Structure 1
Amino acid sequence: MVRILNLLAVVALIGSAIYAYSIKYQTIFHAERIVKLKHEIKAEEDQIATLRAEWSHLTRPERIEALADKFLDLQPTGLRQIVSADALPAKTARADGIGDKLEALGLAEPTNTPGDAAASAPTTPSTPTR
């Protein structure tokens, strides 16, 4: 009987040691993974900073102005080019083919929505008389 209890104690001790070591190695694995992810995040942040610096370099106003002068044949705005709003052409109405077809079918009027029908209908059903 004592030998069986000793054997069970040794088996329990070995099992708990295996469990403890498995937890230890899982913790080490996850810690290494966290460090690796932190390095990847830092690399991505550095890349984002580099791209922002490049973007700010490319969008400098003096650079864009020089490129516009070189490649676009722009002329300064003259005083006679500025007009009042009354001198602008009137906006033309666009044709709505689908709307015209709906009007021709008589479907252009507003319809009753389910909320409107529910407001006009009684809220309780009528009970049949016996």
Structure 2
Amino acid sequence: MLRTFDLILIAAMLVAATVTYKIKYDAEKQIVVINKLKRQIASEKDTITLLRADWSLMTQPGRLQNLVDVYAKELHLQNIDAKQIVQFNEIPERPVDEIEKLISGSDTVMANNAAGTDPMSTGSVKPSRTRQ
């Protein structure tokens, strides 16, 4: 003699148990993902530490001087004279490249477009668009 109310309560209990199980299962999956990310972060930190140590070894002045001594003849290395160091305003300007000429030429085309003329050399005026 189950009443309708008892059946509704049993169904609600089953739904609640299913939802609870699903939430627990999803939380466990997220914990696995978080642990994996933590391991990856730790690995990256270890790699960064190793690379910093390697960099400090590679840039030691004694090691660099030994490399200069070994490869000086092949690289034609010379000492810097004090006369070679100049102020910023003493550096000559770089000559204009072909690409800069093309770019400056495109500036005039854009100026013509802004003025309302057609980029083709017809001299026609573009129709103006009205906003509605």
Question: Distance between the aligned counterparts of 1:23 and 1:84, measured in 2?
Answer: 70
1:57 — aligned with what? 57
Q: Match for 2:20: what amino acid?
A: A
TM-score, length of structure 1 as denominator length: 0.59
Question: Distance between the aligned counterparts of 1:92 and 1:25, measured in 2?
Answer: 67
Deviation for aligned residue 1:32? 2.0
The alignment partner of 1:72 has SS state of helix
Question: Distance between the aligned counterparts of 2:32 and 2:99, measured in 1?
Answer: 65
Distance 1:9 1:91, change over 3 A: closer
Gaps of 5+ in 2: 87-91, 117-129
Deviations 1:47-74 (A, max 9, x none): 1110111112111122111111111134
Aligned pair count?
106
Deviation for aligned residue 1:34? 0.5
Moved segments of 4+, more than 3 Å: 74-79, 82-85, 90-100, 110-113
1:40 — aligned with what? 40
Distance 1:2 1:59, change over 3 A: same
Instruction: Indicate the RMSD between aligned Cα atoms, in angstroms.
Output: 3.9
Deviation for aligned residue 1:17? 0.6
- Specify the structure having the higher radius of gyration (Cα): 1
Q: Match for 1:61: what amino acid?
A: P
TM-score, length of structure 2 as denominator length: 0.59
